[in-house]
Amino acid sequence: MMILVTGGSKSGKSKIAEEIVTCTELPRFYIATMIPFGCEAQSAIKRHRTMRANKGFVTIEKYTDICDIELPRPCAVLLECMGNLCANEMFSPCKTNPVGKILDEISQLIEKSSLLVIVTNQVGEDGIIYPDDTMNYIKCLGQINSQIAQMADCVIETVFGIPLMLKGEMPHCI
């Protein structure tokens, strides 16, 4: 099963995603995609580690090439976050097509896990025209989010901490 949790910045996406994963009895893995660069990133990483403390997660820091992750079967996986993964892949030295690569790797993660919960961001809704690199990032992340939403069994949008169902049925633990 795959669940996509989306929403704006600081909307409560991570909390909802963690609740979904922690209501299972499966071994829990947290794939952290944020490169620890700068004070803001360090602060976000610290906040998320605190949120996960004592919840039984094994953290895997993997900034690109998530298909290389070995997981026991069955397991529950929380991937946080697609926005970081997209940027990491776009600006990596390999310069591959990030949309196709990430979608292929998500398909592989689905096969490796019993439950895959993906957190993503809604970007590009402000109508502002940004520099070309940023506009390309917004386009790529939008394409990835759209395709993952199509693949997902359940899509939840989080608004002000409130989970709203966009597709499928709300997990019983929410």
Read off the amino acid at residue 109: L
44 in a structural domain:
yes
Round to whole Å and give the CA distance between 42 and 53: 16
pTM (two decimals): 0.93
172 in a structural domain:
no
| pLDDT for 126 | 79
Domain containing 54 equals 2-167
11 in a structural domain:
yes
| pLDDT for 71 | 97
Distance of CA 30 to the CA centre of its chain: 10
Angle between helix 82-90 and 98-112 (nearest 10):
130
6 in a structural domain:
yes
For residue 137, the tally of other CB atoms under 10 A from its CB is 20
- Residues of the chain below pLDDT 70: none
62 in a structural domain:
yes
173 in a structural domain:
no
| pLDDT for 10 | 86
174 in a structural domain:
no
Q: In the chain, how many domains are there? A: 1
Q: What pLDDT digit, counting tens, does each position of 91-112 carry?
A: 888 777 899 999 999 999 999 9
Q: Strands 2-7 and 76-80: what pairing? A: unpaired
Task: Find tokens 């502002």 and name the residue.
Answer: 128
| pLDDT for 49 | 82
Q: Supply the CATH number for residue 151's domain.
A: 3.40.50.300
151 in a structural domain:
yes
